Amino acid sequence: MPSTLTARALLLDMDGTLVNSDAVVERVWRAWAAEHGLDGDAVIEVVHGRQGYATMALLLPDRPVEQNYADNLRLLEQEVTDTEGVVPIAGAPAFLASLRKLPHALVTSATETLARVRMGAAALPLPEVMVTAEWVSASKPDPEGFLKGAAELGFEPADCVVFEDSEAGIAAGRAAGMRVVGVGSRAAAHAPTAQVQSLEQVRVEAAADGSLVLHIA
């Protein structure tokens, strides 16, 4: 059903929300799973939304954290150089264009370098405010990234709406005290505040009082 949300600022995840990078994620993480004798499907189930080291800690809980960080760096190098199949989520170009003069930030588990590479590969403009992996001490589902995004924009958490696709990201947005618009099929199972299949179903307009009105089809 169509719905309307009102906010002061929007906080946007990248992978799966603005950029479809599933092809790269599948290639890199299935190869990693094979190295460690893990089921590729099980790995893909938990990788979305998290920083790599956090995914590894879930899957290999007895492994030293130093090895997770080392593997994370290696996989990041692969992801930065692999942009084949990276495309915008349907509606993302127009959606970001509509936010150009409105308060919004990118909040991603990717590093700044990877965020710039993937947004560039998808031909999407980078928001002026970006909270990347380097900004936080804890990966989603911890709310730290979203709370920092709100603070950078100068708004209270309750005044922000998050756009997310993953279980970890939706949990992080809720833990931050924010409403969440779930984007795509992955999000549907995790009870976001509102749900869309693509960003083509979202229209944002600025009200006279400076608030943002989200029309969700």
- Pick the catalytic residue: 15, 71, 142, 165? 15
What amino acid occupies position 190? H
For residue 71, indicate whether it is catalytic: no
Query: How many beta carbons lie within 10 A of that of residue 201, not counting itself?
Result: 18
CA–CA distance, 172 with 19 (Å, rounded to integer): 19
- Pick the catalytic residue: 13, 71, 159, 165? 13
CA–CA distance, 80 with 111 (Å, rounded to integer): 10
115: left (phi over 0), alpha (psi -120 to 50) or beta: alpha
For residue 13, indicate whether it is catalytic: yes
* Residue linked to tokens 């083509």: 200
The DSSP string of 2-36 is -EEEEESEEEE--BTTTEE-HHHHHHHHHHHHHHT
Catalytic residues: 13, 15
